[in-house]
């Protein structure tokens, strides 16, 4: 009996917990023109891997010879933000409250690829979740899962942008799902996301300069945070959700069905004195399996110093002064915060 590969793929993906499954043609790679413009203007900052991986991003055939279709998968991750505890705490982007999505989604993708090869013999498969050379948002837009908004996020109309994306390339033709249309059709005249950014990271609609983005500065950037941008970080110690929080499409996002993505204790609001007082190796060990480990102990402590300076609470002075013995970039940011608090040397 003839097996419908599309039906098999949808059924197996949904059984593994993917809440969104869409198909697209893979004759060429979507989004590469915007990607090239981003790189050509240096807006990727220190993320050199974006340049190095440009080739396969532009040509999916380099990733899977004979590729015919892309299966775009989504996992909703929205959970209510825990109440603000106040005090000397820093705010964390919502996607990082629970288990590292690379691990959660990656494990499911490996299992899906294995199951599909068993159900569809000789099937060629290549999968990726964020860390492989695929422009997931562009593939998702082509599949009709949503549209790329002015804030450069993939938005599902009326349901929002709080979802993780993954792509599975296969060498079988699938009937593509219909796209939803261009971004302006859904953003209209709204520009809340552009206007809310405290560091002016948006050059224009659909144009982000990562070098000014709080998420980039607190996670990917490894050096000193430029002084003119530090005050704009506010309480964000890891990532930033502002351009998503103000989006009308995010007024009532579907709740995540994943308990592993629920907020872990002290992961939505980081207690900053405890973070700074914990030895670097102990801190990194405590964050195993969490996205919060990405900047490393030094990066998190750098960010914590900036937030403590922004909070304006003199109760932070003793813990900031205790950082003066360090021999790394944390010291510079602690000194900056102390100056903000009127306690500079």
Which tens digit of pLDDT belongs to each residue from 255-274?
Answer: 999 999 999 999 999 999 99
pLDDT of residue 181: 52
Q: Is residue 257 in some structural domain?
A: yes
35 and 181 together in one domain: yes
Q: Is residue 40 in some structural domain?
A: yes
111 and 142 together in one domain: yes
Q: Is pLDDT of 1 > 50? A: no
161 and 283 together in one domain: no
Q: How far does the chain reach from its first CA to its final CA, in angstroms?
A: 80
Q: Is residue 276 in some structural domain?
A: yes
Q: Is residue 306 in some structural domain?
A: yes
Q: Is residue 93 in some structural domain?
A: no
Domain boundary among 169, 187, 205: 187
155 and 9 together in one domain: yes
Number of CB atoms found within 10 A of residue 47's CB: 16
132 and 148 together in one domain: yes
179 and 200 together in one domain: no
Q: Between the CA atoms of 285, 289, 290 and 293, what dihedral angle is there, to the nearest 10 degrees?
A: 40
Range of the structural domain that residue 231 is part of: 192-340
CA angle centred on 71, ends 163 and 209, rounded to 5°: 50
Percent of the chain with pLDDT over 90: 92
pLDDT in tens, 304-325: 999 999 999 999 999 999 999 9
What does the pLDDT average to over 146-162? 95
106 and 171 together in one domain: yes
219 and 150 together in one domain: no
Q: Is residue 85 in some structural domain?
A: no
Number of folded domains that form the chain: 2
Domain boundary among 126, 160, 187: 187
How far is the C-alpha of 180 from the C-alpha of 40, rounded, in Å? Answer: 29
Which residues make Cβ contacts (< 8 Å) with residue 84, sequence separation at least 6? 269
For residue 327, the number of C-alpha atoms closer than 13 Å in the C-beta half-sphere is 0
Tokens of 165: 């994306």
Helices (H), 170-295: 184-187, 192-196, 214-215, 227-230, 242-245, 272-277, 280-286
216 and 107 together in one domain: no
Q: Is pLDDT of 182 > 80? A: no
234 and 116 together in one domain: no
Burial class (CB in 10 A: 0-12, 13-18, 19+), 122: exposed
Which residues make Cβ contacts (< 8 Å) with residue 44, sequence separation at least 6? 38, 50, 51, 210
Question: If we measure between CA atoms, which residue out of 117, 144, 166 comes closest to residue 9?
Answer: 117
Domain boundary among 171, 187, 203: 187
pLDDT in tens, 207-239: 999 999 999 999 999 999 999 999 999 999 999
How far is the C-alpha of 36 from the C-alpha of 39, rounded, in Å? Answer: 5
pLDDT of residue 64: 96
298 and 217 together in one domain: yes
Q: Indicate the SS3 state at residue 21.
A: strand
Tokens of 216: 């980039």
Under a CB-based contact definition with an 8 Å cutoff, are residues 63 and 169 in contact?
Answer: yes
How far is the C-alpha of 18 from the C-alpha of 105, rounded, in Å? Answer: 9
Q: Is residue 89 in some structural domain?
A: no
pLDDT class of 183 with cuts at 50, 70, 90: very low
161 and 292 together in one domain: no
pLDDT in tens, 53-96: 999 999 999 999 999 999 999 999 999 999 999 999 999 999 99
Catalytically active residues, by annotation:
130
* Residue 213: DSSP 8-state: -
Q: Which of 4-8, 64-68, 163-167, 192-196 has the lowest mean pLDDT?
A: 4-8
């Amino acid at each position: 009996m003839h097996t419908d590969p599309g039906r098999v793929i949808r059924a197996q993906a949904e059984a593994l917990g993917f809440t969104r499954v869409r198909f697209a043609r893979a004759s060429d790679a979507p989004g590469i023109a915007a990607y090239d413009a981003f790189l050509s203007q240096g807006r990727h900052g220190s993320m050199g891997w974006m340049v190095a991986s440009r080739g396969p991003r532009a040509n999916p055939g380099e990733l899977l010879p004979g590729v015919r279709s892309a299966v775009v998968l989504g996992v909703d991750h929205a959970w209510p933000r825990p109440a603000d505890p106040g005090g000397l705490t820093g705010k964390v982007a919502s996607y990082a409250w629970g288990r590292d999505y690379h691990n959660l989604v990656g494990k499911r993708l490996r299992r899906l690829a294995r199951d599909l090869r068993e159900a569809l013999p000789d099937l060629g498969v290549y999968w990726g979740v964020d860390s492989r050379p695929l422009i997931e948002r562009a593939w998702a837009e082509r599949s009709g899962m949503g549209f790329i908004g002015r804030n450069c996020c993939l938005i599902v109309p009326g349901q929002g942008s709080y979802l993780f994306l993954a792509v599975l390339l296969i060498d079988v033709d699938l009937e593509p799902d219909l796209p939803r249309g261009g971004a302006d059709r859904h953003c209209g005249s709204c520009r809340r996301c552009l206007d809310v950014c405290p560091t002016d990271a948006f050059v224009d609609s659909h144009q982000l300069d990562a070098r000014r983005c709080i998420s980039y500065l607190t996670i990917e950037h490894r050096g000193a945070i430029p002084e003119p941008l530090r005050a704009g970080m506010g309480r964000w110690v890891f990532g930033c959700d502002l351009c998503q929080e103000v989006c009308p499409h995010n007024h009532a996002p579907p709740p995540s069905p994943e308990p592993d993505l629920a907020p872990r204790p002290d992961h939505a609001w980081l207690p900053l004195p405890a973070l700074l007082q914990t030895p670097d190796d102990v801190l990194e060990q405590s964050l195993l399996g969490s996205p919060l480990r990405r900047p490393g102990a030094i990066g998190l402590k750098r960010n914590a110093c900036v937030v403590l300076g922004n909070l304006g609470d003199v109760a932070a002075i003793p813990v900031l002064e205790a950082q003066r013995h360090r021999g790394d970039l944390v010291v510079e940011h602690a000194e900056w915060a102390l100056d903000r608090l009127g306690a500079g040397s």
